[in-house]
Amino acid sequence: MDFLTDSHKLLMVNNGQQVKQEAAGQTEPHANESKMKLKRRQFTANEERRVRFNPLNPLCLLTVMRLLLLLTALLALQLVGGQEDYCFGKDAEREQTRHFTSKTAYQIVKGTNMDKQYQVPGCEPKKMWIFHRHGTRLPTPNTIRAAPRLEDLRDQIVKNYRVLRTKPETNALCSTDLIAIQMWKWNTSITVDIEEHLTTQGYEDLRGTAKVYQHYYPTVLPTRYNDSYYLFRHTDTQRTTESFKGFTEGLFGDNTVATAADIPEQDLLLRPYDYCNDFKDKNYKGEGSEYQKYRTSAIWNRTVDDITKRLGFTFLAEEDIELMYDMCRYEQAWQVDRTSVWCGAFLPEQVTVLEYAEDLKYYYGSGYGFEENTKFNCRAVQDMLTRLSSPVSPHVIAYFAHSTGLQTLLTALGINKDDVALRADNYNSMTSRRWKTSLLGPFAGNFVAVKYECTEALEKEKVVFFLNQNAVELDWCNVGLCDWSQVLEHYKTISEANCDEYYCRSGAMAGRASLLFTALIAAIVYLMH
């Protein structure tokens, strides 16, 4: 009887007692009837109360719904009022660090699929040609001189938030990022006399890439150094010299066993841009350029205003924004496993706007923005084709150079060319563009060509191109694997060109004129004595 209500049970007990009393002659029938009527009225009143508060009653449902709506509204107000602003310090993904253009850390954007890309069934790797940008470096002299200014900006931002109360209502700095900025100090040991020097992370970048390629190609990259098998060369800078040492330590376990080729007085192979006025004089970032147009566009101005408000300012010079952005990128690349406090100054979507400006600069400076750029790095392309075509040593050729050299090489080879040109007015439609300096030429960016012999295939020689440990997919190749005969045919024009005249007459002529002038001066001095 457990399913009966308490009221029913009470009524049954009372009725039972009444029957027993009447049988014993202890109660009068009329008195009992009066008591029964009273109890029935009490029972009916209780049931009415139950019906009145029955949750299935339409009136009760309406009341409950009103209460739920009120609670929902209060909860929504609470969520909006306490919603956490974007916090770089707490962001586990930090996707924007993949969009720092030429100052992107290699460890963040390097490829991870070589396990599936390096194996060519029925073929054996025989030769390797490498063009390697130097690793992470220190800032330029101008940035080092300006860096103490960041301490003033630090104090002003904290004052804006804590004293002036100019914190924006939306997209403000989170407390974690604000405290991190407040604690930041410039490293005064970084001085102009060591400008652009390779950092510890930069050395590790190169040591790491050597180990990776040696892991996948142990027969091509033996651990014992042989000066006829290996050919190394770097430019006349500290950062490329130390990058070469880091790379050779990765291969041989010691950075002193290998030697690099002599650096020519005019390094037309690795630094041709230093000797070509036509290349240096083109307008890729001056007045009227797409770069400058973009920096006066609505989306740029809106982004600058948003960053200014985010930091609590009513006005902030673009030079200050660029300084914070540069320090964010440098510090993030110097210590990949940590966060730069200055990256917290920017929302992820603001970083992509800043990225596009530099992509425009590089696109017209070293990329497909000007057709002539495809002809510029003629010597590097010829060197690759000649070295890989030769059956004799050296079997490994590795050059250590700079971002402009790497970008112009990729441009000459037609890698990552977009169907639509990058312009100041098409940022929104170019978010999936191929020309992204962050992916093409980060710190320690590298282009590697691996030549294979395929004895049982119809085409005996093949090649796979790698860019930052990702196999390069060219339209005229088979999923990254190219027939060597196709490569020679595709680049026939540039391989047969006279590089002295193919792009930059001024560079070659200037070189010859310089030698002639030097010889003339020497002759005059000789005659005078």
- Residues with catalytic annotation? 134
Listing DSSP states for 330-346 in one string gives: HHHHH-TTS--GGGGGS
- Looking at the DSSP bridge assignments, the partners of residue 401 are 133
Residue 448: count of CB within 10 angstroms of its CB: 20
Listing DSSP states for 78-121 in one string gives: HHHHTPPPP-GGG-SS-GGGG--GGG--HHHH----HHHHS--T
β-strand pairing of 396-401 with 230-234: parallel
d(CA 274, CA 235): 12
> What end-to-end distance do the CA atoms of the chain give, in Å?
133
Measure the CA angle with vertex 198, ends 196 and 204; round to 5°: 155
Structure tokens at 461: 């020689």
Structure tokens at 519: 């010889």
Listing DSSP states for 191-259 in one string gives: -GGGTTPBPHHHHHHHHHHHHHHHHH-TTTS-SS--TTTEEEEE-SSHHHHHHHHHHHHHHHS-SSS--
d(CA 486, CA 490): 6
